[in-house]
Amino acid sequence: MMNKRSFCRFVRSPDIRPGVPTSLVPEAGLCLSVFLVLRDREDRNRVLMGVINREANWEELGALSPNLLQNFPRGWMLPSSHLLLFESPVQASQRVLKEQLDLSAVRLTGPVVFSDVYDHPITHLRNHWDIGFIFKGVLDSREVKATQAWQELRFVDPMIQSTSIIRSHGDVIKYSEASPNSLD
């Protein structure tokens, strides 16, 4: 006999629709995030990444609380954010372009969607679930300018900088490369 399955239909109460399998949000949480993988027009091996300006309001820019930022390692990361409640991934990608990069007219493809499950590194609860939406684009280096969000923002080669890329963003870049929809 098959075990009863728990489908990903998240509701506040499992009794809301009797007879229909539902689940509450996993104990370790579930995050919906958007990532921008923007490649250098002149050298497609280089990806736009930044080092967070810890004085910027990252709680508003990307859902990184001051507490989390304190324990956050320094290093390179992609322009990214959790989705706002009821925001679509496309809307989130446009918000990240505007708020983190001060850009608006960038042609993006995607999303490439990925899912990761892991034990949460801070709470140590099991099975934290991330669902990510990757949008890809190409920029000319002259379009990249300093913004309040970043201490440093530039195109880097992820193969060379791999030891200083944080928050599994190196994996996000690899997920984006495995996708068939591309601007190359």
Please give the domain boundaries of the chain with CATH numbers for all domains.
Answer: 30-177 (3.90.79.10)
Predicted local confidence at residue 24, as pLDDT: 75
DSSP string, 128-171: EEEEEEEEEEEE-GGG----TTEEEEEEE-TTTSGGGB-TTHHH
Please list the pLDDT of the chain residue by residue as tens digits (184 residues).
556 766 677 776 656 666 666 777 788 888 999 999 999 999 999 999 999 999 999 999 999 888 888 877 789 999 999 999 999 999 999 999 999 999 988 999 999 999 988 887 777 888 888 999 999 999 999 999 989 999 999 999 998 877 788 878 889 999 998 866 544 4
Predicted local confidence at residue 19, as pLDDT: 63
Predicted local confidence at residue 184, as pLDDT: 45
User: Taking a C-beta distance cutoff of 8 angstroms, is the pair 118, 128 a contact?
Assistant: yes
User: What dihedral do alpha carbons 73, 75, 79, 85 form, nearest 10°?
Assistant: 0
| Global confidence as pTM | 0.88
Residue 144: count of CB within 10 angstroms of its CB: 18
Predicted local confidence at residue 124, as pLDDT: 83
Predicted local confidence at residue 172, as pLDDT: 92
Predicted local confidence at residue 15, as pLDDT: 63
Predicted local confidence at residue 17, as pLDDT: 63
Name the DSSP class of 31. E
